């Protein structure tokens, strides 16, 4: 059943399969190249500072351009980030292609006025947007974006899907 805490591996019922045999799921810790441009217009319309947006990219994604080493950074518990600034409309251009061939959108981004925050936590297959009720309603109503409203009691951890029987706690042992 699809619900706000649903995990792709639980819905696909393939969590017990070797990773190479699974159906490809959503990307972890990033918005894909298709979704990010659709998302941008909503936050941009819900800030008084659309020309100044702060973006943070987790340093652990892989090999980064040497010029980033001089970028300012900051730490949150267990994570270190590079810090960038741009207009909200230019956030997609901050997505980075690393030597591994992977593309990562900014991990966390927010406007200077702090009216909302977007977080693609590196261990989640979901991106969280915090903001005004009107912003959240617009995102959920947009047919181009798969969005569900969640509350503070929803867990996006790997075992947070208590309805579909989260792996590893809810999956029966395979014979």
Express each pLDDT in 82-118 by its tens digit.
899 999 988 888 776 654 556 678 889 999 999 999 9
| Residue at 157 is within a domain | no
- Distance from the Cα of residue 148 to its chain's centroid: 13
Residue 2 counted as domain residue: no
* CA-closest candidate to residue 147, choices 35, 53, 50, 8: 35
Q: Is residue 149 assigned to a domain?
A: no
Asked whether residue 169 carries a pLDDT value surpassing 60, the answer given is: no
Sign (positive or negative) of CA dihedral 47, 130, 150, 17: positive
Find the domain containing 22 and state its range: 8-141
Which of 17 and 39 is assigned the larger pLDDT?
39
Tally of domains within the chain: 1
Domain assignment present for residue 40? The answer is: yes
How far is 148 from 5, CA to CA, in rounded Å?
Answer: 9
Angle between helices 35-44 and 133-141 (to 10 degrees): 150
CB neighbours of residue 51 within 10 Å = 15
pTM: 0.78
* Residue 80 maps to a domain: yes
């Amino acid at each position: 059943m699809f619900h706000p805490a649903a995990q792709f591996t639980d819905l696909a019922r393939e969590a017990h399969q070797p990773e190479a045999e699974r159906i490809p799921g959503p990307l972890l810790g990033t918005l894909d190249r298709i979704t990010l441009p659709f998302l941008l217009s909503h936050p941009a319309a819900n800030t008084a500072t659309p020309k100044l947006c702060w973006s943070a990219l987790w340093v652990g994604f892989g090999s980064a351009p040497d010029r980033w080493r001089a970028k300012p950074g900051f730490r949150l518990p267990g994570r270190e980030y590079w810090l960038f600034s741009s207009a909200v409309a230019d956030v997609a251009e901050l997505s980075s292609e690393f030597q591994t061939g992977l593309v990562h959108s900014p991990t966390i981004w927010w406007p200077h006025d702090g009216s909302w925050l977007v977080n693609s936590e590196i261990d989640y297959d979901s991106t969280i947007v915090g903001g005004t009720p009107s912003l959240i309603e617009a995102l959920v109503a947009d047919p181009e974006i798969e969005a569900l409203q969640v509350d503070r009691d929803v867990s996006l951890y790997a075992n947070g899907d208590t309805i579909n029987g989260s792996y590893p706690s809810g999956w029966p042992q395979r014979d």
